[in-house]
Amino acid sequence: MRFSSIIWKEWLVLKNKFISTTLGAIVGPLLFLVAFGWGLGNAVEIDGGSYIDFVIPGIIAMLTMTTSFNVVANDINISRVYSKTFEAVMIAPIKTAVFVLARVTASALRGLYGAALILVIALLFGANLHIDWYFVLVLILNCFVFSTAGIIAGIIVDSHADMAKITSFVITPMSFLSGTFFPLDRFPDFLRVIFELLPLTQAIIGLREGVSAAGSWIVPVALFGYLIVMLPISVILCRRAE
Amino acid sequence: MIVYKGVSKTYSNITAVHDLNMEIQKGEFFGLLGPNGAGKTTIIRMTMALTPPTSGSIEIGGQKIRRDSTDIKQKFGIVPQYSNLENDLTAYENLEFHGRLYGLPKQLRRRRIDELLEFADLTSRKKDIARTFSGGMQRKLMIAKTLMHDPEIMLLDEPTVGLDATTRRKIWDFLRQLRENGLTIFMTTHYLEEAQALCERVGLIDEGNLIMLDTPEKIIQSAGQFVLDCYQNGKTTQKFFEDRESAIAAAEQTEGSFKVREANLEDAFIKLTNKDLGVRNEI
């Protein structure tokens, strides 16, 4: 009941701003696909394949990451620091863990809604995607991992201005260093190993290579590992948040 | 009902609350009165486990409250100093969300929403987004929201701050109605006339210390029933007397302009703390 009430509220917020949210979720993917699909797609080849087929899984992972992260990170931060609606939930008879799980789920669902929109656009651009259960699983895990990261960021950052720094120093670098736009083997070995550990890298590998690739089980296990480490941290931080 | 035992709260080097010992009785309208920064909001936040005390304990019905004390929280309604409404939701949706959060079944939820919108005089605005409401309407919606789950205790942190005089009086009537319905009310305010008009017992707090705790009448008596305000050389000073005759006799010896009047809670506060709400007075 408490879990579903949080999801219900997030759904209402989305419903009340449905058109602006949907348009906002489309603009980013459109720009990326125009630039990297039409702009570079036919002129560049990677590993013998077209660039558009290479870059679209990366763009999907990157944009679902930013949506899942930003929705909850900004909302938690604003509700803590400015609107004080965070307190309204903290004084309600709801366990902190239930609250965190509900917010993570709601934000991940927003990320998945964004992913569905991106997939439709990508298919319209002629992307050659193999969407199966593994693709969906990786996408879901990616959304949950970054929603949880968003909760942590929303709690530990004490002003909205500092939220922008998290984006500048964590999210944006990860977008460019996780193999979104070019293969990681272009980096020196020691950097490639570090970048391969990033959760976005794992999601991109999963979406790009699919279940049939050697060692494909590593991707969901790694993402799940991130999730089970970050979830308790976010609950503890939420419990201590003042 | 709520017992504070040696409660202190320190932020870095600042002591916000120092060794607070007091008890709020079931069914009373209790006011915590003090200037801005006295520690009132910290006490409310500690009561609701939004911030932990540095030392001491707070017990509600014999139980210590923690962040995950869902059973105790179910008994509370809290109206914070600033709006905590979901600004992107309508008045109706705000109440619906609160009802769901507190586990009210659907039929009860719908009935309570209709009753409380009527009570708060907001039925005609139920489909409007909360962001579009005036300060007074937002405050009434916050109180209505808090009443959704029929709490036993209501905590109000500066419930009329920033509101005009007319709206403030309306909120007072609203609170009196709740008191008549048997609710225990714990309110903080820095409006002395508000505490005097509403509260059965008042705690005076200043710089984190509870200075006095009694009925408004007894607090006033402790300072003196009558006040002589003397204005001289650009400064107003006050003297306190047990009866009007003594005050008038003292006034006759006074140079400059003066006024003899009955003392109020504000006078008592000034005498006991040697300060007004930010303005020092010579006594």
Domains within chain B, CATH numbers bracketed: 2-213 (3.40.50.300), 219-273 (no CATH)
Q: Two tokens at B177?
A: 């109605």
Angle at B177 between CA B110 and CA B196, to 5 degrees: 140
Local confidence band at A162 (pLDDT 50, 70, 90 cut-offs): confident
- What is the pLDDT at residue B110? 95
Kindly give the interhelix angle for A218-240 and A133-156, rounded to the nearest 10 degrees: 30
Per the CB < 8 A criterion, the answer to whether B264 and B220 are in contact is yes
- What is the pLDDT at residue B278? 40
Phi, psi of A91 (to 5 degrees): -90, -5
What's the pLDDT tens digit per position in A98-146? Answer: 999 999 999 999 999 999 998 888 888 777 888 899 999 999 999 999 9
Instruction: Provide CB contacts within 8 A for A165, sequence distance 6+.
Output: A157
The one-letter amino acid code at A127 reads A
Structure letter (DSSP) for residue B48: T
Per the CB < 8 A criterion, the answer to whether A122 and A128 are in contact is no
More confident residue, A39 or B137: B137
What's the pLDDT tens digit per position in A219-232? Answer: 999 999 999 999 99
Structure letter (DSSP) for residue A217: T
> With the CA atoms of B95, B98, B104 and B109 taken in that order, what torsion angle do they form, in degrees rounded to the nearest 10?
0
Contact B50 A242 (CB under 8 A): yes
Range with lowest mean pLDDT among A32-36, A173-177, A198-202, A227-231: A32-36
d(CA B45, CA A33): 49
The one-letter amino acid code at B37 reads G
Could you identify the residue written with the tokens 């419990």?
Answer: A239
d(CA B177, CA B107): 25
First to last CA, chain B: 37
Helix (H) or strand (E) run with residue B259 in it: strand B257-262
> How many interchain CB pairs under 8 A, A with B?
73
Contact B76 A17 (CB under 8 A): no
What's the pLDDT tens digit per position in B184-211? Answer: 999 998 888 888 889 999 998 888 999 8
What's the pLDDT tens digit per position in A5-14? Answer: 999 999 998 8
Q: Is A20 near chain B, with CB under 8 Å?
A: no
- 3-state DSSP assignment of residue A214: coil
Instruction: Provide CB contacts within 8 A for A234, sequence distance 6+.
Output: A100, A104, A148, A151, A152, A155
What's the pLDDT tens digit per position in B92-128? Answer: 999 999 999 999 999 999 999 999 999 888 999 999 9
Which residues of chain B neighbour A85 with C-beta distances below 8 Å? Answer: 84-86
| Residue B219 half-sphere exposure toward CB, CA atoms < 13 A | 28
Per the CB < 8 A criterion, the answer to whether B229 and B206 are in contact is no
Closest C-alpha among A1, A219, A101 to residue B99? A1
| Domain count within chain A | 1
Q: Residue B8: pLDDT above 80?
A: yes
Q: What is the rounded average pLDDT for all residues in chain A?
A: 89
Structure letter (DSSP) for residue B254: -
Q: Residue B231: pLDDT above 90?
A: no
User: Which residue in the set B50, B86, B89 is minimally distant from A87, CB to CB?
Assistant: B50
- What is the pLDDT at residue B271? 80
What percentage of chain B exceeds 90 in pLDDT? 34
**How many C-beta atoms lie closer than 10 Å to residue B120's C-beta?**
21
User: Which residue in the set B70, B87, B102 is minimally distant from A83, CB to CB?
Assistant: B87
Q: How far is CA B265 from CA A83, B78, B219, B272, in A?
A: 33, 26, 7, 10
d(CA A158, CA A178): 28
- 3-state DSSP assignment of residue B232: strand
User: Which residue in the set A12, A85, A87 is minimally distant from B93, CB to CB?
Assistant: A12
In this prediction the pTM is 0.83
What is the DSSP pairing of strand B153-157 with strand B76-79? parallel
Which residues of chain A neighbour B83 with C-beta distances below 8 Å? Answer: 83-84
What is the DSSP pairing of strand A45-46 with strand A49-50? antiparallel
What is the DSSP pairing of strand B201-206 with strand B209-214? antiparallel
Instruction: Provide CB contacts within 8 A for A202, sequence distance 6+.
Output: A196, A218, A219, A222, A223
User: Which residue in the set A85, A90, A93 is minimally distant from B50, CB to CB?
Assistant: A90
Which residues of chain B neighbour A91 with C-beta distances below 8 Å? Answer: 48-50, 73, 76, 78
User: Can you tell me the mean pLDDT for B124-139?
Assistant: 91
What's the pLDDT tens digit per position in A179-207? Answer: 888 888 888 888 899 999 999 999 999 99
Could you identify the residue written with the tokens 């006799």?
Answer: B249
d(CA A78, CA A81): 5
Burial letters for B17-53: b for 16+ Cβ neighbours within 10 Å, e otherwise? bbebebebeeeebbbbbbbeebbbbbbbbbbbbbbeb
User: Which residue in the set A13, A94, A242 is minimally distant from B51, CB to CB?
Assistant: A242
Per the CB < 8 A criterion, the answer to whether A73 and A151 are in contact is yes
Range of the domain at A43: 2-240
Q: Residue A86: pLDDT above 60?
A: yes
- What is the pLDDT at residue B6? 93
Which residues of chain A neighbour B87 with C-beta distances below 8 Å? Answer: 83
What is the DSSP pairing of strand B76-79 with strand B63-64? unpaired
Q: How far B81 CA lies from chain A's nearest CA (Å)?
A: 10
DSSP secondary structure string, B53-119?
A: -SEEEEEETTEE--TT-HHHHTTEEEE-SS--S-TTSBHHHHHHHHHHHTT--HHHHHHHHHHHHHH
Q: Is A192 near chain B, with CB under 8 Å?
A: no
Which residues of chain A neighbour B98 with C-beta distances below 8 Å? Answer: 88, 92
Considering all CA atoms of chain B, what is the largest pairwise distance in Å, rounded to the nearest integer?
71
Q: Which of residues 92-151 of A touch B (CB under 8 A)?
A: 92-96
Q: Which of A9, A19, A95 to mutate to probe the B interface, most B CBs <10 Å?
A: A9
Report the DSSP beta bridge partners of residue B90.
B129
Which residues of chain B neighbour A101 with C-beta distances below 8 Å? Answer: none
Q: Two tokens at B88?
A: 């992107």
First to last CA, chain A: 25
Q: How far B193 CA lies from chain A's nearest CA (Å)?
A: 28
Residue in A closest to B95 by C-alpha: A9
Residue in A closest to B69 by C-alpha: A93
User: Can you tell me the mean pLDDT for A166-172?
Assistant: 90
Instruction: Provide CB contacts within 8 A for A49, sequence distance 6+.
Output: none
- What is the pLDDT at residue B277? 42
Q: What is the rounded average pLDDT for all residues in chain B?
A: 86
Q: Residue B279: pLDDT above 50?
A: no
ipTM above 0.85, yes or no: no
